[in-house]
Each structure stands twice: as C-alpha cells, then as structure tokens.
Amino acid sequence: MTVNWGTGIAAIYIGFAAATSGFVMFAMNRPVSLVSPDYYADSLREDQQLAAIRNTQTLDAPPAAQWSELDRIHISLPAAHAPVARGSITLYRASDVSADRTFGLTLDARGEQDVSVRGFARGLWLVKLRWSANGREYYFEQPLTFR
C-alpha cells in the first residue's frame, strides 16, 4: 500500500484536529477560580483603596507585619490607634483562593496582635491590613513567606 501526499496531509490535519479537541476537553475540566468572587465591585472601590493607602503613608509610625518562627504573624499598628481601631487582617494566597483567611483586628494596648498561622501552607502570602480609626480609613499590605 502506498501513501500519497494527499493522504499524508489529511492524516496531519486529522491529528491536529484531534490534539486541539483533546486540549479543549482538558482545559474545560480544569477548575477556574477568580482572584475575588466580586472582582468587578472591588475595582469600583479603587479610589477608596488609594485614599486609604495615602492615609497609611502619612502615619508617623508605619504598620508592620512580621512572620515569627513560632508559626505566628506579629501585626503592629500605631499605638494611638489601638483603643479605637476597627478592621480586619486578611491572609491572601494568590496560588489558591480557597486558602485565603480573614481575622478580626483585636489590638492590645500597644497596638499589636499575633495571628496563628499553624497549619497554613508554606510559601508566599500577602498580609492585608484594613482598619479605620478616628474617622479615617487605612490600608496596608505586605508580602510574607511562611517557612
């Protein structure tokens, strides 16, 4: 049996179509998760976010987030905000939206709080602090690597 050039082209075309169809089937079965379920509403709040970042940059004592070897994150805000600050701490994991966690902000008298991260996946996380004090909104974020 001899194969002419027409048969070869047809075989290549059929192989290409089968590979493309296979990849489409594979891609359709992959989980798709958005960074945020309400990403459109989040984008509309961008101006408020930028104002909160500017407010944070004007603070005399900048906020901080540090990972400790005891599987804890140490959060510190200006001590003047400690009695009146209300807000949240969000631990954001870009590689897995289901791993994100949010905690309430409960500062001690010095403006500090420890958050346990025992059992969290190792790697890069983004600590997002959002709080309000004295009628102003503040926002701070810092990347941390859990080891």
pLDDT digits (tens, 9 = 90+) for 74-105: 999 998 888 999 999 999 998 887 889 999 99
List of residues 6+ apart from 30 with CB closer than 8 A: none
Quick one: 39-146 is in which CATH superfamily? Answer: Immunoglobulins (2.60.40.10)
* pLDDT at residue 38, as a whole number: 75
User: Closest by alpha carbon to 103, among 93, 118, 113?
Assistant: 113
pTM over cut 0.75: no
135 is written with which tokens? 């009628």
pLDDT in tens, 107-133: 999 999 999 998 888 889 999 999 999
* Cβ proximity of 82 and 110 under 8 Å: yes
